[in-house]
Amino acid sequence: KTLDPVLGVFTGVFAYYLYENNPRTAPPADHKLAELVKWKREKWQKQRHDRLRAEHERASRADTVDS
């Protein structure tokens, strides 16, 4: 019972590894999972940075209005 999910996850991860590294089926270098994760992380960081900057500017304006 407990081995079946572990075997399923291992099989899926191994199959994906083979898919990305097999010369016949490998996607282009810019379409691999590592590149997607890198792109998504950079996008998330930019959104976070923009949101924090906007919050900081809003707080700064509120401080100058209160003074």
pLDDT, tens only, 12-50: 999 999 998 888 888 888 888 889 999 999 999 999 999
24/66: higher pLDDT: 24
Distance CA 6, CA 14 (A): 12
- Go through 9-38 and write b for each residue having 16 or more CB atoms within 10 A of its CB, e for each that does not: eeeeeeeeeeeeeeeeeeeeeeeeeeeeee
What confidence category does residue 62 fall into, taking pLDDT thresholds of 50, 70 and 90? confident
Q: What is the pLDDT of residue 24?
A: 87
